[in-house]
Structure 1
């Protein structure tokens, strides 16, 4: 079941990692998050009205 209904709050809060398709649904990059974006990603997850997002803990490490 797909929970997302296209509110696009994730795009508004995390445009560095989220784009929108032609119908307004998010396309989310699946690469590990840079550590500087983790708090932004968590904010986007918390703002999702349908609870369709999660942060799974994969954070890119600086080399």
Structure 2
């Protein structure tokens, strides 16, 4: 699974980070640091939860 973050939609709520702080890396203001990354198979549930928690729907999983 790959996570894609639309950096233009990320508003710094950091809700994804609250779900999994290692998977969803953010800067000091709460904005995503990585536009895309591979999700380890044992963290797929956390990735889905993090994507669902994003109020801007900036996270897409493929």
Where does 1:24-63 land on structure 2 (aligned, <5 Å)? 24-28=30-34, 30=37, 32-56=38-62
Gaps of 5+ in 2: 1-6
TM-score by length of 1: 0.73
User: Which aligned runs of 4 or more in structure 1 are off by greater than 2 angstroms?
Assistant: none
TM-score by length of 2: 0.74
Q: Which has the higher contact order (CA 8 A, sep 6+)?
A: 2
**Please, what is the CA RMSD of the aligned residues?**
1.8
User: How many corresponding residue pairs?
Assistant: 55
Gaps of 5+ in 1: 57-63
**Structure label with greater radius of gyration:** 1
Instruction: Please name the residue that 1:7 is paired with.
Output: 13
CA drift of 1:24 comes to: 1.9
CA drift of 1:43 comes to: 0.5
